[in-house]
Amino acid sequence: MFTKETYINRRAQLKKTVASGILLFLGNDESGMNYEDNTYPFRQDSTFLYFFGSPYAGLSAVIDIDNDKEIIFGDELTIDHIVWMGTQPTIKEKSERVGIFNTQPSKKIVAYLKQAQEKGQKIHFLPTYRPEHQIKLMNWLGYSPAAQEASVPFIRAVVNQRNYKSAEEIVEIEKACDVTSDMHLKAMQMLRPGMCESEVVGALTDVALSAGGGLSFPIIATVNGQTLHNHYHGNIVKSGDMLLIDAGAETEMGYAGDMSSTIPADKKFTGRQKEVYDIQVASHLAAVNALRPGISFKEVYELSSKVIVEGMKSLGIMKGDADEAVHAGAHAMFFPCGLGHMMGLDVHDMENLGEVYVGYDGEPKSTEFGRKSLRLGRKLEPGFVLTIEPGVYFIPELIDLWKDEKKFTEFINYDKLETYKDFSGIRNEEDYLITQNGARRLGKKIPLTTDEVESLR
Ligand code: GLY
Ligand code: MN
């Protein structure tokens, strides 16, 4: 944990911004996988972690701005808990570590909130992403899930703090990135034809857990990289395949790393793989070189998309004017996702609070296929931490669909594209901090170019 002053200052800033009412924070509970006591690994809610530090289940908190009170609600462990699961600091100890001296048993929160409602105080809460949060809001505030309207001022205030990473957060994020780099280096060193994808997943998990933290999201390690979030790990990697890996570590404090690499099963890429890989790298570097405060991420996305179109033109797969093709959305055939996202305590930082607030500063997002998946579009500012991850994907179902619809025939040579239908996909991903005058890559460098990757094979 950071020092208690960090948490005290974060809460002070939040109170100043929201200015009135009660801020309600729902910590996470244990969650059963297949029966109550067989639980998923516990993960505290990230906003709770940010303001209250405590990585323990069963806590809630209230900041009563109107009455200048900060209270953590929770129950002490019973002897049965301690016998089976071990002990923990008391609620008082957990709270004092972050500068909170008012603690109460869980059941008291109901009366506290009821009284506040009766006095006409506004109770602000954030969007929920777990059913138990919705049940709590229903039981405590009387709103059915459909009527639970999250507070926009609360969302915006939290986003406005968490989007700007402090120096001590950067240190933590960089720790996560270093372990993440080690995971990718391990994959580049170990991959051989004949291995199962799951062997690579096992080895990467070992790197992350051995470093003392965990995974920041379920590992993607697939020969079918054309499926953007492919979580199947049962294929044997054959000579001639590429393995697309998207994997990241999380530190003990909860900060994430997130990188991707695409590795040939053999010691070298084939000529055809290299041609497409080089297009991805050119797009990637165009994006990285454009990073600076003041540029909008939408603009960086347009730049990187144009490089992909130019590359597809060089292969004879696309034709026409690259600017016009990108403007029309034809690049989304090969790049149907975003260029990157904010990263912090969540791998897609604060995605639960809404991309429009986190990545667009409240401006509406595009609804167009491809552009709608751009999680980040806003002007970049110092302190933002984000990923750069353009990709080049050949998705057979999308090729068939658009070909049948005769979509973008002025930009796409479908006959040539047919010959790439079995190509799969390529993505490389790095993590960057926006600095005062540019950007800095976070974590140890992992091989990016084909030469760099092949030198480790
Ligand atoms: N690491 C998965 C993603 O960024 O979508
Ligand atoms: Mn990512």
- Ligand 1 centroid – CA 258 distance (Å): 7
Task: Determine whether the shortest distance from the Cβ of 250 to ligand 1 is under 6 A.
Answer: no
SS3 78: coil
Pocket test for ligand 1, best of 262, 339, 429, 431 (most atoms within 8 A of CB): 429
Neighbours of 320 (CB within 10 A): 15
In angstroms, the CA 324 to CA 411 distance is 9
Q: Are the CB atoms for 162 and 345 separated by under 8 Å?
A: yes
> To the nearest 10°, the Cα dihedral for 54, 58, 63, 69?
-90
Q: Where do the H-state alpha helices sit in 291-321? A: 297-314
For ligand 1, say whether the CB of 347 is within 6 Å of any of its atoms.
yes
Does an H or E element contain 112, and which? helix 108-118
CA 379, CA 166: separation in Å to the nearest integer?
A: 19
Structure tokens belonging to residue 431: 């993590």
* List of residues 6+ apart from 365 with CB closer than 8 A: 355, 356, 359, 371, 372, 374, 377
Q: Which ligand is nearest to the CA of 248?
A: 1
Residue with tokens 């909008």: 296
| Three-class secondary structure of residue 189 per DSSP | helix
Dihedral angle sign, alpha carbons of residues 168, 174, 175, 176: positive
- Cα separation of 374 and 37, whole Å? 38
Distance in angstroms (rounded) separating the CA atoms of residues 225 and 235: 12
4-162: CATH number: 3.40.350.10
Specify the ligand 1 atom closest to the Cα of 337: 5
pTM over 0.85: yes
C-alpha 313 to ligand 1 mean position (Å): 28
Atom of ligand 1 nearest to the CA of 217: 1
DSSP one-letter string for 367-436: -STTGGG-S--SBP-TT-EEEE--EEE--HHHHHHHHHTTTTTTTB-HHHHHTTTT--EEE-BEEEEE-S
Q: How far is the CA of 384 from the centre of ligand 2 (A)?
A: 15
> In Å, how far from its chain's centre is CA 51?
19
What is the residue extent of each domain of the chain? 4-162, 167-454
Distance of CA 228 to the CA centre of its chain: 14
Given CATH 3.90.230.10, say whether it is the number of domain 167-454. Answer: yes
Dist. CA 426 → ligand 2 center (Å) = 14
Kind and range of the H or E run holding 439: strand 439-441
Is residue 455 classed exposed, middle or buried when 0-12, 13-18 and 19+ CB atoms within 10 A define those classes? exposed
Torsion of CA 74, 76, 79, 80, to 10 degrees: 10
Which of 244, 339, 347 to mutate to test ligand 1, by most ligand atoms within 8 A of the CB atom?
347
In this prediction, residue 250 carries a pLDDT of: 98
- Per-residue pLDDT of the chain in tens (457 residues, 90 and over written 9): 999 999 999 999 999 999 999 999 999 999 999 999 999 999 999 999 999 999 999 999 999 999 999 999 999 999 999 999 999 999 999 999 999 999 999 999 999 999 999 999 999 999 999 999 999 999 999 999 999 999 999 999 999 999 999 999 999 999 999 999 999 999 999 999 999 999 999 999 999 999 999 999 999 999 999 999 999 999 999 999 999 999 999 999 999 999 999 999 999 999 999 999 999 999 999 999 999 999 999 999 999 999 999 999 999 999 999 999 999 999 999 999 999 999 999 999 999 999 999 999 999 999 999 999 999 999 999 999 999 999 999 999 999 999 999 999 999 999 999 999 999 999 999 999 999 999 999 999 999 999 999 999 9
Instruction: Round to whole Å and give the CA distance between 435 and 304.
Output: 21
CB of 143 shorter than 6 A to ligand 1: no
Amino acid 286: pLDDT:
98
- Best residue among 216, 389, 430 to mutate for probing ligand 1, ranked by most atoms within 8 Å of CB: 389
Q: Where are the alpha helices (DSSP H) in 119-194?
A: 131-141, 152-162, 167-190
Give the atom of ligand 1 at the shortest distance from the alpha carbon of 387.
Answer: 4
